[in-house]
Each structure stands twice: as structure tokens, then as C-alpha cells.
Amino acid sequence: MRLATWNVNSLRARIGRVEAFCERHDIDVLAMQEVKATYDQVPLMGLAALGYDVAICGHGQWNGVAIASRVGLEDVTEGFPGQPGWAEPATAEARAIGASCGGVRVWSLYVPNGRKPHDAHYTYKLAWMAALREAARDWLGTPTALVGDWNVCPTDDDVFDIAQFRHSTHVTPEERAAFAALQEDGYVEVTRPYAPGYTYWDYYRQRFERDRGLKIDFVLASPPLAPRVTGAFVDRDERDPAQGQGSPSDHAPVVVDLV
């Protein structure tokens, strides 16, 4: 089974690229983040014609998550127990969707950005990740994949210039500890051994062209699932403005193969 995760930065603006990506790589399950759309807003006929069922847990503005699957899409759940809410309607209830796909429980996750350390959104980010850890403990015994945009750089090597992030989110000890805690519980980050490179490059200052990016998109596999991983890669071509139709997302998709 081939599983992918991709922060698409608007599914409406990117539907053509998403369909081409699924076809080109023979994707079975695609977890998407920042879809910025509800189900009825997106022309999904193309994906349906390719054999995919789609579930969207989304808001029309700044975020929203989705799962497209052609190996079954069952027991769809929006959010997880204990997920902290947020007063702003634009950010509420649209950061996690889970479903059973071909015998694997897949969670498409959009971890809050946090904006700035000391910002209330940063506190919310840490609370959200702590709640995810608590919920994820219950899924350790079954084949589970926690995939998505984690908005955390686990090591200094995951940032093009750590000096520029002295006063930024994504690299603080607290965020790194929250990401590491899931691995201490038994989840295994399965992409890095096969695909150590960046997954995100800012739009401005030609960051992609100069390979000045971040590694923030990951796949955490539960103990029963981790040994089934046979490979992974980052499809940098999908971030390349010179390739494909229309403008790219600022994230590249991450693909994982499972037996």
C-alpha cells in the first residue's frame, strides 16, 4: 500500500496537481492538510473517476484536513477525544481527521502553527500536541499512521539556517519534546531513514530554488505498522514552480510504501 501526506495549501487551487500526483505515483491513500474548503466546494469528480473516496473535515478559510482513499474509507472521525478547542471559528475543529483505509488507521493531522513563542496560539499548539499524545496511546496496538504537517523541526538539521529561528516557533525545546513524546510511547518516524531532505520551502525569496527549507512533514507509525514500511520519498517536483500545471503548494508530498 502506498500512503502519502501533503499540505496542499488550498485543494481548490491544487485539485489538478493532486489528481496528477495520485495518478503519477499510484497513490492508495492521500492525507491532505490546509485544504481550505468544504466537500461541496471542491471538484472531486476527477478523484472519484480515479477510484478515490474523499472525506473532508474542513473550514473554508485557513485550514482543514482530508483523506482520499481507494482502498476503503471507513469509520471516519473528525478530531480526537480531548482535542482542545479554540475560540476563533476559523481554527476550530479542522485539524484532524481519521479513517480506516485498507486495514490501517490513518490520521491526517495539521498541527497548529503556533505563530510566535509567547503567543496564545503557541500555548494552544502545545496543548493540542499533548492531547494528541494522550489519544494516540490508545492506538499503539493497532496499525496506525499519524501523518501530516507537524509544524515542528525535530533537529537543527531540519532548518536551512537555525540562527534565523532563534526567536521562532517550530524549533523550541517544548515543541520538540512534544513530538519526541509520541516516539517515546512507541511511534516510529518512518520517513527520515529513506528521505532525509526538506518537505517545505517558503514561497518568497526563492527558497526552493536555493533549497532553503524545513523538514516538518512526517509519518509516525505504530509498532505493528512500522516494520511494514519498505521505503519513502519526498516528491520535490511537486514543489517546483517549473514543473506541473499551475502554481505549487509550499509543501512537497511525502510518500511511504507499506507491505
Q: Contact residues for DNA (CB under 7 A)?
A: 9-10, 12-13, 36-37, 41, 60-62, 88, 90-91, 112-113, 115, 121, 151, 203-205, 241, 246-247
Name the residue nearer to DNA (CB basis): 52 or 86.
86
Buried b (16+ CB within 10 A) or exposed e, 226-244: beebeebbbbbebbeeeeb
d(CA 163, CA 150): 21
Q: Which residue has the cell 511511534?
A: 187
Give the C-alpha distances (Å, rounded to integers) separating 70 from 35, 47, 134, 183, 209. Answer: 19, 9, 30, 29, 34
In angstroms, what is the minimal distance from the CB of 111 to DNA? 10
Name the residue nearer to DNA (CB basis): 48 or 62.
62
C-alpha cell belonging to residue 176: 520538540
In angstroms, what is the minimal distance from the CB of 222 to DNA? 27
Name the residue nearer to DNA (CB basis): 95 or 105.
95
C-alpha cell belonging to residue 26: 499510484
In angstroms, what is the minimal distance from the CB of 113 to DNA? 4
Name the residue nearer to DNA (CB basis): 9 or 172.
9
Q: Distance between alpha carbon 33 and the CA centroid of its chain, in Å?
A: 6
In angstroms, what is the minimal distance from the CB of 103 to DNA? 32
